[in-house]
Amino acid sequence: MKRSNRLVILVGVLLAVLAFVGIVVLLGQPKNPETVKKQTVDVLVAKQDIAIGDSVTPALVEVKAVDPNSVLGTRFSDPSQLTGAPALFPIGKGSQVSKEAVGGGAGTGTCISCQLKPGEKAIAVPVSPVTGADFLIQAGDHIDLIVGAKIRVVQPAADSTDPNNPRWEPVAGLEDAPTVKTLLQNKRVLYVSATKIRPITDPTATPVPGAAAPATTPIESVIIIFAGSDADGEVVKFAIGEEGTAGPLTAVLRAVGDDVIEDTTGITFKILVEKFGIPIPDIIQVEIGLTP
């Protein structure tokens, strides 16, 4: 190989090395912050203080772009996603309004104590599909609680010898007389362990083609936690008994904004007959003679 050819090859290799070093140096230099657009996501923040129970509507929030690492909870991205559901805990002016704040989160990390006002306690009640409004109750709702029980009616036995300490026996036909009474009214729901209410979804999310719907398991029982007093807790404990199974207490859903306390008398069969006019069937005894 001629000497001139070798020189050309050497110069070419040297230029390639210099070009590689130049590329590495350029890539290693810090980028101009003014020319790099920082990645952000949209969240909703409160334009004013929002108290517990206030209806959270689009008029109360505004959109703000924040760093993805600054998102608190499960974010809303557009005011149209708000349905007017009540705030579960206080939201200060300028604070992010998350799905957890209005009961639309995934259900994890729910702060029960954050939702309690001074003096309130969190009380749990087990319910079934019938006693729990078919599991359509959700956090932020207000409920009444009605108890149903059976009372054994007794009377002094006819053969009792001591009038001061008689022997008691059930009254025929009234061994287990049913009775019903509203115990608690207008109690704010803090948490529900399961619900048939669909979670809030992001309308801007892109649907996945061919994606199967998530499998669902039939709900058999649910725990409702509501805000009340220690006295309310005593009533609930007495009503559900030691086992704590669903059934004795029925949760009745109230209208939004309804805070009227109704004076109820309770219901027994006697009240049904006297006040509501339920007729008592005539008892006819027929003797049938047999022909010998």
For each of the domains in the chain, give its residue range(s) and CATH number, in order of start: 34-111 (3.90.1210.10), 120-155+168-198+219-272 (no CATH)
Q: How far are the Cα atoms of 111, 127, 171, 195, 281 from residue 223, in angstroms, in the given order?
A: 16, 6, 37, 10, 41
Which stretches of the chain are assigned E, i.e. beta strand? Answer: 41-46, 61-66, 121-127, 142-151, 154-156, 168-170, 177-192, 222-228, 249-253, 267-268
The pLDDT value given to residue 109: 56
- Tell me, what's the pLDDT at 215? 45
Q: How many CA atoms lie within 13 A of 132 on its CB side?
A: 28
0.75 exceeded by pTM: no
d(CA 97, CA 111): 15
- Using 50 as the pLDDT threshold, list the residues of the chain that sit under it: 35-36, 106-108, 212, 214-215, 292
**For strand 249-253 and strand 41-46, is the pairing parallel, antiparallel, or unpaired?**
unpaired
| Span 52-94, pLDDT tens digits | 888 888 999 999 999 888 888 888 889 988 888 888 888 889 9
pLDDT tens digits for range 84-107: 888 888 888 999 998 888 866 544
